[in-house]
Amino acid sequence: MDTREAADTSRSTRILRILLVDDSPLDIELMERKLLDAGFSFHALRAGTRSVFLAALEAGPPDLVITDYALPDGNGLEFLDIVRKRYPLVPVIIITGALDESTAATCIQAGASDFVLKEHLPRLPIAVMNALEKARIQGEMIRTQDSLRESREQYRLLVEHLPVATFSLGLEPAPRIRFVSSRAEAILGIPPERWTAEPGLLWSRIHPEDRRNALRQLRRARVTGRIEDLTFRVLDSGNRFHTCLLYTSPSPR
């Protein structure tokens, strides 16, 4: 597969906004030509100075920044830091005429997606594809995490408004309460934080006549992943028993 074919299979149909930072118009033209030859569709934002670079960032996040390592009024690491602080998900590729292994490692550790020697400029399209794909994956991961957090919050609000006490019980490595709704304290007289902080509290509060069956079903659940509507009695702080129904239910992790 040649470079053009690789670009065609990985890039999106939208036009990319690429910020090119270099004080040499000729070098910028060479970079643009390599990307065009590889089949990329993009709008180039050219910046030959620090002030133009900052103004371009003020206009909004680009899809990609390609910056020279050495500039009259700054350097690639400095510009990389500015981009990372303002737009953490925007990938940055550093271009240089000469780069030793130590400096290259510093660039990657600082968050650069890649670095490309000017004498190896034909590798730029591959570096761009990799950087954009990495940024896409990172963006999807963040959106997934945000969605999970939102789901957990919705779940918490739901159970907090139920008229009964709600428990979430983990089975590994041993049965242990992971979450208790605030309603539990009103019903059982025991603060939620005690249920989660003391692993043996629930077991000590189960009616002695119900413990054997509860233990048997919990052991089975560790193998099958399911609890078949386990019912047992729980002792509250006033020595009164309340019926507890335990069943398998999917919930946000």
pLDDT score for 182: 77
Is the pLDDT at 74 greater than 60? The verdict is yes
Whose tokens are 């509507």? That residue is 229
* Alpha-carbon span 200 to 117, nearest angstrom: 62
Please state whether beta strands 92-96 and 114-117 pair in parallel, antiparallel, or not at all (unpaired).
Answer: parallel
pLDDT, average across residues 111-129? 90
pLDDT score for 8: 45
At 184-201, the pLDDT tens digits run 787 888 888 888 888 788
pLDDT, average across residues 68-84? 90
pLDDT score for 249: 53
Is the pLDDT at 7 greater than 60? The verdict is no
HEC string of the chain equals CCHHHHHHHHCCCCCEEEEEECCCHHHHHHHHHHHHHCCCCEEEEEECCHHHHHHHHHCCCCCEEEEECEECCEEHHHHHHHHHHHCCCCCEEEEECCCCHHHHHHHHHCCCCEEEEHHHHHHHHHHHHHHHHHHHHHHHHHHHHHHHHHHHHHHHHHHHCCCCCCEEEECCCCCEEEEECCHHHHHHCCCHHHHHHCCCHHHHHECHHHHHHHHHHHHHHHHHCCCCCEEEEEECCCCCEEEEEECCCCCCC
At 130-163, the pLDDT tens digits run 999 988 888 888 887 777 777 767 766 666 666 6
Q: Is pLDDT larger for residue 26 or for residue 164?
A: 26
pLDDT score for 251: 44
Is the pLDDT at 17 greater than 90? The verdict is yes
Is the pLDDT at 40 greater than 90? The verdict is yes
* Alpha-carbon span 17 to 123, nearest angstrom: 20
pLDDT class of 32 with cuts at 50, 70, 90: very high
Mean pLDDT of the chain: 82
Is the pLDDT at 97 greater than 70? The verdict is yes
Whether the Cβ atoms of residue 219 and residue 210 lie closer than 8 Å to each other: no
Whether the Cβ atoms of residue 63 and residue 18 lie closer than 8 Å to each other: yes
Please provide the distance, in angstroms rounded to a whole number, between the alpha carbons at the two ends of the chain.
Answer: 42
- pTM for the predicted model, two decimal places: 0.57
pLDDT score for 64: 96
